[in-house]
Amino acid sequence: MSEEQKQAENRARPTTDEFRAFVKEDWAPRRPTVSGPSPAAPYAASRRAAVSAAFPGERLIVPAGGLKVRSNDTDYVFRPHSAFAHLTGLGADREPDAVLVLEPLAEGGHEAVLYFRPLADRDSDEFFADTRYGEFWVGARPSIEDVELELGLTGRHIDEFAAAAAKDAGSMVIRLVRDADRDLTRSLDAARVENGAQEESLAETDDALAHHLSHLRMVKDEFEIEQMRAAVAGTKVGFEAVIADLPEAVAKGRGERWVEGVFGLHARHTGNGVGYDSICASGDHANTLHWIKNTGDIKDGDLLLLDAGVEVEHLYTADVTRTLPVNGTFSDAQREVYDAVYAAQQAGIEAVKPGNKFSDIHAAAIRVIAEHLHAWGLLPEGVSVEDTLDTEHGQFHRRWMVHGTSHHLGIDVHDCALATRAEYMDAELEPGMVLTVEPGLYFKADDLKAPERFRGIGVRIEDDVVVTADGCENLSAGMPRTADDVEAWIREVQGRNV
C-alpha cells in the first residue's frame, strides 16, 4: 500500500460483496471515446518516419510520463512529455503512463506501438475504487480500438510493455527518452545492463535520441503552424479581456492576481490553458524578468507588463508580451522607453529571414538597445556602442536587458531545448521555424545608474513569428505594438459594449 493510500485509509468505506456485484450491473454499452482519426495523426506518422530513418534497427522508447503528485494524494493535471506528444499526436491530459515504442522491423523501418492503460472493465475494482485511474473518479479512458482509430498505430496494454521493452535486449540497441518517467528509466536501465549493455554508456545512447527528437521540432509542419495560429488567436482574446478589465483590476486591489485570473479564464476557455505561468507584472515588478508571483496591486499611472500565452489542446503555446499603460496613456518617460524597445523589436523582426542566422535577430535588436542606452548617456564614460557590443570586453548594456531576444516556440515555450548551439544559435533560419522576438528594457526602481525618470519602468514587447520564404510573418500582429496603437487598442477594447 502506498503512503498516499495509507493516509486515505482513515476515510475508507466498507466494500461488500453485495455492493461489488451491484455496482458492475446495468450499464449501457460503452461508447467510443474518440470520434475518428485525429487531424494530428498523419503529421505524427511523418515525424515517426523521420525518427525511424535516423535510428535503423534500434528500439526507441518514448514515455509519456506518469501523474505527478502535487501534495499528499492529489496530482497535478497530467501533461505528456513533449516528445511523446509530438510523435503520437496526443495532447492535453493524455495518456498518463503510456509509452510509445518504435519497434524495428526485419524488413526495415519501425512499427509504432503505443502501450497504455486502456479502460478497465466494469467488473474490476479499478472501475469504482481507484481514485487515480478509475472511471468513477477520473472518467473513462480510451480502449485499445479507440487509440488505434485515433492515431493510426498499434495499441497494446501497458502490462505488456516491460517484457516487450526488454526483449532481445542483448542483441539490439535500445534508446530511451530518460527524463519522462524516472521509474521506467530505472527499470529499463537495469534490464539493459542485465543484457550486456554498459551502464556508463546508457546516458550517451539515450541522449542521442533526446537530442534528435528535440531538434526534429525546429521546423514546424503545416499542422503545427495552424496550431500556433490558434494559440495566438486565443492569446489575443485573453489580452483583450485583461485590457477590458484593467479599471476593475485597479479598483479591486490585488490587481496582478486579477489579471492572472482573467487571462487564465480565457486561456482555459479558448485553449487548454496557459502555456506557462503568466507574468502579470505591474510597476517595478516588470523589472523582475520572470515575475510569476503576481501578488501586487496595479496602480493608475503604472505600466502592466503582461507576458502570457494560450496553449491549445495539442499543446502548442503562444508567448506574447504587451506592456500596457494602466490608465490608457503612456507618460512621456514610459513612452520614451517603450519606443526604444519597439525600435529594437522592429529591427529584430526585420532580421528574421532565411539566410540570416538565429543569432542575427538578437544582434539586430540589441544594437538598437545599445544605441539608446548610449544616447541616454547610461554606458560608462567613453564606451561607444561598438565597445559595449564587443562580446569579450563590453556588454555593459546587459545591465538593462540581460536576456536574449529570441527562442524557438512550439510544444514547449522554449522549444528545441536540446538542439546544439550549431543547430540553434548559429544555425541559419529556415521557413517553418517559429520564434519569438522579445527585446526589453528594465530600469529597476533602485537603479541609481538609471535616470530618475526611468526608474521603476520595465518594458518588453514580444511577438511570435514564423519564418517564410523571404522573411517572416508576425503571427501576433493582430495585437497592436506601437505606443500609439497600444493606446488606441486600449480605448477601442474598453469602449466596446459601453
Angle at which helix 222-244 crosses helix 483-495, to 10 degrees, equals 70
Q: Which of 318, 436, 456, 457 binds Mn ion (CB under 5 A)?
A: 436
277 binds ligand GLY (CB under 6 A): no
Q: What's the min distance (Å) between Cβ of 438 and Mn ion?
A: 5
The residue number whose beta carbon is nearest to ligand GLY equals: 307
CB-wise, 279 or 385, nearer to ligand GLY? 279
- Of 178-186, 204-212, 230-238, 455-463, the window that binds Mn ion (rule: CB under 5 A) is 455-463
360 binds Mn ion (CB under 5 A): no
DSSP 9: G
CA distance 99 to 114: 6
Q: Which of 150, 256, 260, 307 binds ligand GLY (CB under 6 A)?
A: 307
- Of 147-155, 202-210, 267-275, 316-324, the window that binds Mn ion (rule: CB under 5 A) is 316-324
Q: Report residue 61: phi and psi, to 5°.
A: -120, 120
Q: What's the min distance (Å) between Cβ of 308 and Mn ion?
A: 8
One-character DSSP codes across 133-182? T-HHHH-PPPPHHHHHHHHSSEEEEGGGHHHHHHTTGGGS-EEE-TTS-H
Q: What's the min distance (Å) between Cβ of 277 and ligand GLY?
A: 9
Q: Which of 126, 150, 319, 336 binds Mn ion (CB under 5 A)?
A: 319
From the list ligand GLY, Mn ion, none, which binds 463 (C-beta under 5 to 8 Å, kind-based)? Answer: none
CA distance 346 to 461: 10
Whether the Cβ atoms of residue 61 and residue 110 lie closer than 8 Å to each other: no
DSSP 35: -
In the region spanning residues 414 to 443, those forming contacts with ligand GLY, defined by CB under 6 A, are 438
Q: What's the min distance (Å) between Cβ of 283 and ligand GLY?
A: 19
Q: What's the min distance (Å) between Cβ of 440 and ligand GLY?
A: 9
Q: Which of 78, 133, 276, 376 binds ligand GLY (CB under 6 A)?
A: 276
Q: How many CB atoms lie within 10 A of CB 450?
A: 22
From the list ligand GLY, Mn ion, none, which binds 136 (C-beta under 5 to 8 Å, kind-based)? Answer: none
- Residue written as grid cell 503512503: 3
Q: Where are the beta strands (DSSP E) in 315-372?
A: 320-325
Whether the Cβ atoms of residue 150 and residue 34 lie closer than 8 Å to each other: yes
- Of 63-71, 88-96, 304-312, 334-342, the window that binds Mn ion (rule: CB under 5 A) is 304-312
Q: Report residue 202: phi and psi, to 5°.
A: -60, -45
- Binding footprint of ligand GLY, residue count (CB under 6 A): 7
One-character DSSP codes across 277-310? --EEEEGGGGGSTT---------TT-EEEEEE-E
Q: What's the min distance (Å) between Cβ of 320 and ligand GLY?
A: 9
Q: What's the min distance (Å) between Cβ of 335 and ligand GLY?
A: 23
307 binds Mn ion (CB under 5 A): yes
Q: What's the min distance (Å) between Cβ of 53 and ligand GLY?
A: 32
How far is CA 442 from each of CA 137, 191, 332, 340, 428, rounded to the nearest angstrom?
48, 52, 16, 12, 30
In the region spanning residues 102 to 141, those forming contacts with ligand GLY, defined by CB under 6 A, are none
Binding residues for ligand GLY (CB under 6 A) = 276, 307, 319, 407, 413, 438, 462
Binding site for Mn ion (CB under 5 A): 307, 319, 436, 462
